[in-house]
């Protein structure tokens, strides 16, 4: 007699938890492997599920292989990596498309399908997992991103357009905002650059063949928006002999490694480059970007599968205890319990043997990195006001340096040790305000501007995958 048992296995478990029948190789290229699950062996249907493996790299050069379905977005992948890496999800994490041979990179939009992007990448390209605090900063402070002289309709209203209306013109597909100004354009096949007056519209990026004229007969299309993406050039100005450091590039989506198809551009300063690149994203994606910006608020009321795990029963049943006497006692008063916890923390932090190393556990401390590397990290993570990191001083082995971004400029402040009554303190202002450790110093300047141009707001973070 033959007895058959039928097990109904949830689809989610099969995709994410069922081990493969055979060991899978792990190549180093972006397109790693496909796992095909033929459910005809389990059910009478003919459903086929494909999961693609991809490797994501962190700032420290470590990589992690993750398996993703074809419909997984960049935001979903970031949520998965945040969950797996046990780091704080502050909605600033991004997936970066990095092309080392071309010297280009861009942050994927949250709604983009990662598998589709990966299919257009060459074998040397890779994904990076990084923070970008400026990703949606233009929704919070749009006037900082769009100077009056660069937005065509701002001039007609004497610069008095409110923030909400400024963005509505970009998000509303029926309106016709226009970014205008001079850009340097690299001539194809040559290292020379030509300064042209450009216009960015929904239909594409145009240049004028006659001064600043915007008459249709004087306009030539340089690139469309729908089939292209905008990238930051990361190789520096020497490689392309660019007139300034503020380079960016428009790359057709189907181009993998052909430099001839790239439209290399250069702005006069960081503010104008940011304006061109932000407007490109807004004109291309429109209201979708605003929906991406609003998703984190909606997710708070609808937790995803990758949200922080719920605390266990044993954790919820923990109680505060006082062992200062001969026998221990339970602290029933919540105020007393909180006070005891703070006192215990202060006692631990004031212990001399921890003061010299306690800051090294913080996400904002980056050790003995060079000034140039600190600049690079700040630029990569968005150049928003209050973005900061601390590092060891290269000139004084006993001192530290605070690197801070303000108004898209990066400034450095030396933190010097000073001794008083045999105890070492740290100060940013020649001893006027002293702190026992760097954590206290950072916490103070997160609440008070003091001698700094702005408060410390966003820690420059490098996560290990």
**DSSP conformation class of 187:** P
pLDDT of residue 95: 96
Residue 151 sits in the same domain as residue 254:
yes
Buried b (16+ CB within 10 A) or exposed e, 376-410: ebbbbbbbbbbbbbbbbbeeeeeebbbbbbbebeb
Do 194 and 242 touch, CB atoms closer than 8 A?
A: no
pLDDT of residue 359: 81
Is this model's pTM higher than 0.85 or not? no
Residue 261 sits in the same domain as residue 152:
yes
What does the H/E/C string look like for 276-315? Answer: HHHHHHHHHHCHHHHHHHHHHHHHHHCCCCCCCCCCCHHH
User: Which CATH number fits the domain that encloses residue 63?
Assistant: 3.10.20.90
Residue 146 sits in the same domain as residue 215:
yes
Residue 203 sits in the same domain as residue 79:
no
Residue 84 sits in the same domain as residue 156:
no
pLDDT of residue 296: 74
- Would you report the helix, strand and coil content of the chain in percent, each value rounded to 5? 30, 25, 40
Residue 99 sits in the same domain as residue 187:
no
**Integer angstrom CA distances of residue 177 from 152, 155, 288, 385:** 7, 12, 17, 27
Residue in the structure block whose two tokens are 């997984």: 72
Do 69 and 77 touch, CB atoms closer than 8 A?
A: no
Q: Say if 206 falls within a structural domain.
A: yes
Residue in the structure block whose two tokens are 């060991």: 23
Residue 195 sits in the same domain as residue 170:
yes
322 phi/psi in degrees, rounded to 5: -115, 115
Q: Provide the domain count of the chain.
A: 3
pLDDT of residue 320: 74
Q: What region, left, alpha or beta, does residue 422 occupy, with left being phi > 0 and alpha being psi -120 to 50 degrees?
A: left
DSSP per position, 92-132: -EEEEEEETTTTEEEEPPTTSBHHHHHHTS-TT-EEEEEE-
Q: Which domain holds residue 388?
A: 360-459
**Integer angstrom CA distances of residue 95 from 55, 82, 106, 267, 291:** 11, 11, 9, 25, 18
Q: Which two tokens stand for residue 235?
A: 């190789």
Residue 70 sits in the same domain as residue 125:
yes
pLDDT of residue 332: 77
pLDDT tens across the length of the chain (465 residues): 433 333 333 333 333 343 443 343 444 444 333 333 333 333 344 444 578 888 999 877 888 898 889 999 999 999 999 988 888 778 889 999 999 989 999 999 999 999 999 998 988 999 999 999 999 999 988 888 998 889 886 444 444 566 667 788 888 877 788 999 999 999 888 889 999 999 999 999 999 999 999 999 999 999 999 999 999 999 888 888 899 999 999 999 888 777 788 999 999 999 999 999 999 999 999 999 999 998 876 665 555 544 444 443 344 456 677 777 777 787 778 788 778 777 766 665 555 555 567 788 898 999 999 999 999 999 999 999 999 999 999 999 889 999 999 998 999 999 999 988 888 899 999 889 999 889 999 999 999 999 999 999 999 987 777
Residue 275 sits in the same domain as residue 156:
yes
Show the CA angle centred on residue 263, arms to residues 128 and 30, nearest 5°. Answer: 25
Going through 169-237 in order, the beta strands assigned E by DSSP cover 179-186, 193-201, 204-208, 219-223, 228-233
- Return d(Cα 413, Cα 105) in angstroms, integer: 30
Taking alpha carbons only, the member of 416, 456, 421 closest to residue 433 is 416
**Integer angstrom CA distances of residue 402 from 428, 434, 444:** 9, 15, 13
Residue 250 sits in the same domain as residue 398:
no
User: Which CATH number fits the domain that encloses residue 188?
Assistant: 2.30.29.30
Q: Which two tokens stand for residue 322?
A: 């006082």
Residue 277 sits in the same domain as residue 149:
yes
2 phi/psi in degrees, rounded to 5: -110, 130
């Amino acid at each position: 007699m033959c007895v058959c048992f039928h097990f109904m296995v949830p689809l989610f478990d099969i995709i994410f938890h069922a081990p493969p029948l055979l060991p899978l190789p792990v190549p180093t290229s972006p397109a790693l492997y496909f796992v095909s699950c033929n459910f005809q062996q389990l059910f009478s249907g003919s459903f086929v599920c494909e999961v693609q493996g991809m490797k994501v790299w962190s700032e420290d050069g470590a990589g992690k292989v993750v398996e993703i379905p074809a419909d997984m977005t960049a935001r979903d992948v970031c949520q998965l990596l945040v969950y797996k890496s046990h780091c704080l999800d502050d909605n600033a994490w991004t997936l970066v498309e990095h092309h080392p041979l071309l010297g280009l990179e861009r942050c994927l939009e949250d709604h983009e399908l990662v598998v589709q992007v990966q299919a257009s990448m060459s074998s040397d390209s890779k994904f990076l997992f990084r923070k970008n605090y400026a990703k949606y900063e233009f929704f919070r402070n749009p006037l900082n991103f769009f100077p009056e002289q660069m937005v065509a309709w701002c001039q007609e209203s004497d610069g008095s357009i409110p923030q909400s209306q400024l963005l509505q013109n970009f998000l509303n597909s029926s309106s016709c905002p226009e970014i205008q100004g001079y850009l340097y354009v690299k001539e194809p096949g040559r290292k020379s650059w030509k300064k042209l007056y450009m216009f960015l519209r929904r239909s594409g990026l145009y240049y004028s063949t006659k001064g600043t004229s915007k008459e249709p007969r004087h306009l030539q299309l340089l690139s469309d928006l729908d089939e292209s993406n905008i990238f930051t050039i990361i190789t520096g100005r020497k490689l392309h002999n660019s007139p300034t450091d503020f380079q960016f590039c428009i790359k057709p989506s189907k181009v993998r490694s052909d430099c001839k198809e790239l439209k290399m551009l250069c702005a006069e300063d960081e503010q104008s480059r940011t304006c061109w690149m932000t407007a490109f994203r807004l004109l291309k994606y429109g209201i979708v970007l605003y929906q991406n910006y609003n998703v984190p608020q909606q997710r708070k009321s609808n937790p995803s599968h990758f949200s922080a795990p719920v605390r266990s029963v044993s954790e919820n049943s923990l109680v505060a205890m006082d062992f200062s006497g001969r026998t221990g006692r339970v602290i029933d008063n919540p105020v007393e319990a909180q006070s005891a916890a703070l006192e215990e923390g202060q006692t631990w932090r004031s212990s001399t043997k921890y003061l010299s190393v306690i800051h090294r556990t913080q996400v904002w401390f980056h050790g003995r990195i060079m000034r140039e590397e600190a600049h690079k990290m700040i630029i990569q993570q968005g150049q928003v006001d209050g973005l900061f990191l601390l590092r060891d001083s290269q000139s004084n082995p006993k001192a530290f340096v605070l690197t801070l971004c303000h108004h898209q400029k990066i400034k450095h402040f030396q933190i010097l040790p000073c001794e008083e009554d045999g105890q070492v303190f740290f100060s940013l202002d020649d001893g006027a305000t002293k702190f026992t450790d760097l954590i206290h110093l950072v916490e103070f300047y997160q609440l008070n501007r003091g001698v700094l141009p702005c408060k410390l707001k966003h820690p420059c973070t490098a996560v290990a995958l």
